[in-house]
Homo-oligomer: A and B are copies of this chain.
Amino acid sequence: MITDPFDTGPTGVFRTLCRIYPDDTVFRGADGFRSLWGPIFYRGRANGTARLLVIGQDPAQTEAFTRRILSGQAGRRVQGFVEKLGFTKSYLMVNAFLYGIYHQGMALPHLNDPGIQAYRDRWLRAALAPGRIEAVVTFGTPAFHAWQAFTQSPEGAGVDVFQQRALHPTADKEGGPITRQDLLDNWNVALGRLHAQIRDPDEQRPLVPYGDDFTRAELPEIPSRDLPMGLQPWMRSTDFWATLASPPGTERANISVEVP
Contacts and interface: CB of A to CB of B under 8 A. Distances in A.
A22 B3 CA distance: 9
A232 B100 CA distance: 14
Given A1-B20, A18-B6, A37 B259 contact: yes
Contacts of A235: 38
A73 B217 CA distance: 43
Given A67-B230, A253-B259, A254-B256, A19 B41 contact: no
Contacts of A40: 230
A43 to B, nearest CB: 13
Contacts of A10: 229
A245 B256 contact: yes
A234 B18 contact: no
A20 B3 contact: yes
Interface string A199-242: 00000000000000000000000000000111110110000000
A245 B65 CA distance: 16
Q: Across the A-B interface, give the 6 residue pairs with the lowest CB-CB distance, nearest first.
A: A255-B257, A38-B232, A18-B229, A38-B230, A252-B259, A39-B230
